[in-house]
A and B are shown apart, each in its own frame.
Chain A
Amino acid sequence: MANLARFTNKALRTAYSITKHHAQPQLASSERAFATEAAKSITPSPDRVNWDYRGQRKIIPLGQWLPKIAVDAYVAPNVVLAGQVHVWDGASVWPGCVLRGDLNKISIGFCSNVQERCVLHAAWSSPTGLPAETSIERYVTIGAYSLLRSCTIEPEVIIGQHSILMEGSIVETHSILEAGSVVPPGRIIPSGELWAGNPAKFVRTLTHEETLEIPKLAVAINDLSKDHYHEFLPYSTIYLEVEKFKKSLGISV
């Protein structure tokens, strides 16, 4: 495996050195002088590989913090979980998400789902003084492309797509946030209401029927995630490809 890295390294280094003198960028005008200073001081590392066959690891432990995924939770292979992240039972984290619990805790509750391309982060401290962890309780649906930072989402909530929840915001139970809403820091979205907009404003209260639909959506997505989950074998069979690769490169297996 070290041989492989060294081989790809060497091939890339020779290719890189050939093209390096072509790559000096042309930085012209004086108004961008500050950028030119930076350009001169860049020393690239000879060890940096352009390609690593391992790709990006899903679980990145930091120090003693190891992200924990429940056995029946679906976490797409595309996702990055770093630091203190707990994904509890029945939850699903869809492709492209980044859950970065490096400064504080992130937890995804039972049967919740974090849809595609979300970024969940937790700041070190919250302006409200409350614990700044990002905690998502049970039966929460977080729509695609949302950004959540140090917020608390109480049980049975729907967060629309592309919404932005800033530090210290709390979304109380049985509420719905429309797509594209931006919740300012420290805002509390009261229980049973529909909010929308940038910045998020009250729209109307939810009817009882709508409130009942919220956990149903979470359960429906949980069912869908089971289908996706079952497409993956418990262990990867990538070792077969690595063996083939080594064989074709003539590296003794």
Chain B
Amino acid sequence: MGTLGRAFYTVGFWIRETGQAIDRLGSRLQGNYFFQEQLSRHRPLMNVYDKVPYVHKDAFIAPSASITGDVQIGHASSIWYGCVLRGDVNNITIGSSTNIQDNSLVHVAKSNLSGRVLPTIIGDNVTVGHSAVLQGCTVEDEAFIGMGATLLDGVHVEKHAMVAAGALVRQNTRIPCGEVWGGNPARFLRKLTEDEMTFFSQSALNYSNLAQAHAAENAKKLDETEFVKVLGKKFVRPDEVDSVLNAVGDTPPEITPPDNAALDKAPKAS
């Protein structure tokens, strides 16, 4: 059977060579409109001359995020898919266990109308929702920026404050502790209850755990990802399933996870 295997191998090779030759022929036929694929030049972490991002080893940086310039990211923080953190003209500091969710933009100003230039400072345990735009603002610990919010220069969001989804917070607004501001332009909506304030740090923790699952998956080498594809869903590493399920810290105890392997490890989070 050795020779038969060898025969298949050789024929396979011929077919692949033929395919590649036909590919070259097709490229020639396409002429001016031929598109040649390039390696992805996207750099998740990029320095602008001497301004280098300084990222903690625990932080999850999505490969499609762009962190440029003078950015510091603390322990257990996560920067999700498609974010742009541009610290090129000033510095951005992000504390620990903070999450900057997908497609957000964190920016700093070099000059603005009032002449005061501020770096962007985001504290610990802050949740910045999807597609938020933060420019030159200060967000203190355990605040919550809703998705789609836009925070302009000089905004100061105090501890345990919340910016509602879709809000546009005008320049130099100060959002006091324990209040919800929303709308366009942002104005005071209501006060936060105690439960909601404790929820903020819980949500930050949940996101840190979820980030670990994503980090593990994104860090896989080509061999591992191909291997999983080949074996399909039949082969699942038990620690992966647990890591995703455990990431959801606020699972009510009545809900049983799809496979009971996670049950004995359930109270790991929080």
Contacts and interface: CB of A to CB of B under 8 A. Distances in A.
A210 interface: no
Interface stretch (B5-13, B140-148, B171-179): B140-148
Measured as residues with beta carbon below 8 angstroms from the partner, the interface class of chain B is: 35 or more
A182 B73 contact: no
Interface string A122-147: 00110000000000000000000101
Contacts of A242: 39
Contact of A23 (B45, B50, B73, B248): B50
Query: How big is chain A's contact interface, by range?
Result: 35 or more
A23 B228 contact: no
A57 B243 CA distance: 20
A156 interface: no
A100 B46 CA distance: 25
A36 to B, nearest CB: 9
Contacts of B70: 23, 25
B240 interface: yes
A239 B140 CA distance: 47
B74 A63 contact: no
A42 B218 contact: no
A121 interface: yes
A66 B39 CA distance: 25
Interface in B191-246: 210, 213-214, 217-218, 221-222, 225, 228, 233, 236, 240-241, 243-245
Contact of B233 (A66, A100, A102, A231): A66
Interface of A: 1-2, 16, 19-20, 22-23, 25, 27, 32, 34-35, 38-39, 41-45, 47-48, 50-57, 60-66, 78, 80, 82-83, 96, 98, 100, 102-103, 117, 119, 121, 124-125, 145, 147, 149, 162, 164, 166, 182, 198, 231, 236-238, 240-242, 245
9 contacts: A22-B50, A45-B57, A55-B42, A82-B81, A96-B103, A121-B102, A198-B184, A237-B36, A241-B37
Interface of B: 23, 35-47, 50-52, 54-57, 61-64, 70, 72-75, 80-82, 91, 93, 95-96, 101-103, 121, 123-124, 129-131, 138, 140-141, 147-148, 165-166, 183-184, 210, 213-214, 217-218, 221-222, 225, 228, 233, 236, 240-241, 243-245, 247-248, 250-252, 258
Enumerate the 7 nearest inter-chain pairs by beta-carbon distance, A residue then B residue, closest first: A55-B40, A45-B57, A56-B64, A182-B166, A56-B63, A98-B102, A119-B130
